[in-house]
Structure 1
Amino acid sequence: MEKTEDILQAGSSTERIECGISPQRPVMREQPILAVLVGAHFMHIMDFMMMLPLGPQFMKLFAITPQQFGTLISAYAFSAAICSFFASFVIDRFDRKIILLLLCGGMGIATLICALAIDYKMLLLARAVAGGVSGILSAIIFAIVADVIPAQRRGVATGTIMSAFSMAAVIGMPIGMLLANLIDWCASYFLLTALSCVMVIVVLRVLPPLRGHLLHHQERHPFRQLRAIFWVRNHLYAFALIATLMFAGFSVSPFISTYMVINIGMAEVDLPYLYFFGGLATFFTAHFFGKLADYHGKRKIFGVAAALSVFPILMVTHLSPVPTVFAVGISTLFMMLVSGRFVPAMALVTASVTPHLRGSFLSFNISVQQLSAGSASLLAGSIMGISANGALTHYDSVGIIAAIATILSILLAVKVNNHQE
């Protein structure tokens, strides 16, 4: 009982701190909550990431084109966008723990369907189901962070959550690829199903009820809810920022593995190195960018990180056949800066909305993210083709589009303010 009250007090204390008022009690036990959230984030990040190195296998196994592989990525993203959009109307009405528990169970079911897929159509359906669950899961994770962690420490907390990407790349991907190479690609998704079951138990036993946001909740008609979110200019700038950022990243990243194998000549067994070293680097840079954002300002650090990310975006998409070591180095730099810029961006976005709308806003935000990511994958897949010798074409054009979107995101970040401002 005491633990529950501590967490509820932490949520209310967060808002008092944001308003410039010292809390009556210290914020309690943030670390166990962050640990659970990192685990949940790791689970659904790995679910998505496992598709990327399996691209060459899927293209051979199911006889699909780059466009069809892009559709697999887009189905996941569009499903996440639709589900998180409708979840936005109800997500703030319930205990965050209950929602997280249901979503972890749903992720287990989705990954099991994926593991049992026997053809392209079934795999496409499985990815749509997984995307729907993942979109809402991502929204609830960042809503809990914003509820529990005070604003002045939220950059570091966001960096901690984002380190799940590094963990997925350093630990999850090599294990998943090892299983895929030794047994079959579906073994990786059976592993994720087992991990989802573990997360259900962990959430149930470790996470206390999280109802602090219900103190601020106001029942609204769906149209009034839409008005409360979309009739605020600051919210629109925040959505535009995250949309351009996701478009820039997801027009390039889904095809890196396939491009490295087909065009650069990297062996499929070497693909885990691509994610291992990239993830290992981002494990440190995510925390680094979070701390910089808290000390020097989220907008400023985002601008610097995004500007620097233009260079590896153009390099990785214009790469010619090179030694594997050089290719891994370029992709590592790409992952460091593309994921690093997302840390201050998310901290900036979560601060742009008032507490009582935060859950709905972040669910809409995930919808915008995934819609943009799906559109990027679909557009990139339609631009790219296969030459007579089997190489991917026009990946360089995709890189130029991603670079332009990145520059646009820097301009939009200037317009996004803290909700108190």
Structure 2
Amino acid sequence: MAAPAPARDYSRAHYALFILTQINLVNYLDRYIVASALPSIQNDLGINNTQAGLLSTVFIVVFMLASPLGGYLGDRIPRKYLVAGGVLLWSLATGASGLAGTFVTLLLARAVIGIGEAGYGAVAPSIISDLYPRELRTRMLAFFYIAIPVGAAAGYGLGGFLTSTYSWHAAFFAGGVPGLLLGTLACFMPEPQRGAMDGPDAQTKLPFRVGLKGLAGNKAFWATTAGYTLMTFSIGGLGQWMPTYMVRVRGMAEGQAGLLFGGVTAVAGLLGTVAGGWLGDKMDRRREGGGLLLSGVGLLLASPFMYLALHLESEVATFAVIGVAQFLIFLNSGPINAAIVNCVQPSFRAFAMGLNVLCIHMLGDAISPTLIGAIADASTLTRAIEVNAVPVLFGGMALLMGAKLYHEAVPRPR
């Protein structure tokens, strides 16, 4: 009888996944500190809603423009050093945000944060895909993306607490510290071979022009990116303006609004991401594109809950319904990103992720905070957030289309 195959040792892979997940947590903590501190920043710097929205928009614009370059480099140089350098750069820029005394200076610091995060965001999923086989990827990527709601919640909570207790400057100083340690630890992660978990054929290097041509005709990639973009538009606007809505419209204290919204985001996002990872793997085993089908249904169901939350008088009911909407949205974290890395040639994954980042932010949360701020200036903040539920609905439709196209790009291994 043939001897059973030895169990694979994932200890070094788990170390890399742990470090990358902690970095992702700090990534979103740094992004959302500004949201909970926004009313104080506006008062101190004398800026209107449209200018306040630009603080997020300029970060996203720089981040998205630099991401394809980060992905291009990630397919060609050791990715762990790209991760480490990016984390150190954006952490220093976060701390420097606390020194800003004018709107322009703060805007410049937020732009530098975008450069640092671009070196990390495009390559981290490709590293994880090369550390784990396909049957584990959705769950491992879901673990990685758990950091999004937890980091966002930490940003809201830390930003709200430190801003109300000390000042918004102190919130940025505190936010910059963890990344300095994690950037150092990233240098000691394993650097997996590209396509190591996809068989020997997948490890063939792909000329850039050939890879770009293949990606241009990859319908599953573009349908998934379209759905992801619409979802990113809405959650970017919701994350930026919901705490301010609770303060201005509902009359909540600034620190309380950030803390409660952050807590709901953490719980709903954590549960949704874990459930999405488990269900996504299960549904992918049953049918091609099963994870994307789950993602599309989740967005279709989330849209009415986003709208309903604004029309409930009770603050408890409002936060409960927001939590349901966020749970349904965060179901997508693992399945969407697993679909992207699985439907692209391994040697081209980092660039594909960088291009995906460019698209979801260029047409997503790069414009939604400023657009919602402009609508609020022209009408009301309530009306602006109501409109924000519509892209989620269309995003769900796009992901259902992606689920149908998925089998064309991802033949099932035999």
User: What TM-score do the two structures reach when normalised by structure 2?
Assistant: 0.86
Matches within 5 A, 1:14-413: 26=8, 28-29=10-11, 30-205=13-188, 207-212=189-194, 216=203, 218=205, 220=207, 226-271=212-257, 272-296=259-283, 297-316=290-309, 318-319=310-311, 322-372=313-363, 373-385=365-377, 392=381, 394-413=383-402
Q: Aligned equivalents of 1:23 and 1:143: distance in 2?
A: 26
* Residues 104, 200 of structure 1: 8 Å contact kept: yes
Q: Kindly report the root-mean-square deviation, in angstroms, between the aligned alpha carbons of the 2 structures.
A: 2.5
CA spacing shift, 1:175–1:396, aligned 2, 3 Å: closer
How big is the shift at 1:81? 0.9
Q: Deviations over 1:247-296 (max 9, x none)?
A: 23224332111111111222112121211132023222211111001112
Q: Aligned equivalents of 1:94 and 1:72: distance in 2?
A: 32
Q: Which amino acid aligns with 1:208?
A: P
How big is the shift at 1:378? 3.2
* Residues 37, 159 of structure 2: 8 Å contact kept: no
Q: Which amino acid aligns with 2:275?
A: F
Q: How many residues align?
A: 393
* Residues 310, 406 of structure 1: 8 Å contact kept: no
Unaligned runs of 5+ in 2: 197-201, 284-289
Q: Aligned equivalents of 1:242 and 1:363: distance in 2?
A: 14
Moved over 6 A (4+): 22-25
Identity %: 19
Q: Aligned equivalents of 1:45 and 1:170: distance in 2?
A: 9
Q: Deviations over 1:389-411 (max 9, x none)?
A: xx635225523433443343334
Q: Deviations over 1:175-222 (max 9, x none)?
A: 3322222221121221222111111232234x123344599363745x
* Residues 70, 123 of structure 2: 8 Å contact kept: no
How big is the shift at 1:358? 0.8
Worse-superposed segment, 70-79 or 128-137: 128-137
Worse-superposed segment, 44-53 or 161-170: 161-170
How big is the shift at 1:228? 4.0
Q: Which amino acid aligns with 1:40?
A: I
* Residues 276, 333 of structure 2: 8 Å contact kept: no
* Residues 136, 281 of structure 2: 8 Å contact kept: yes
Q: Aligned equivalents of 1:286 and 1:382: distance in 2?
A: 32
CA spacing shift, 1:309–1:200, aligned 2, 3 Å: same
Give the 3-state SS of the residue equivalent to 2:366 in structure 1: helix
User: What TM-score do the two structures reach when normalised by structure 1?
Assistant: 0.85
Q: Which amino acid aligns with 1:342?
A: S
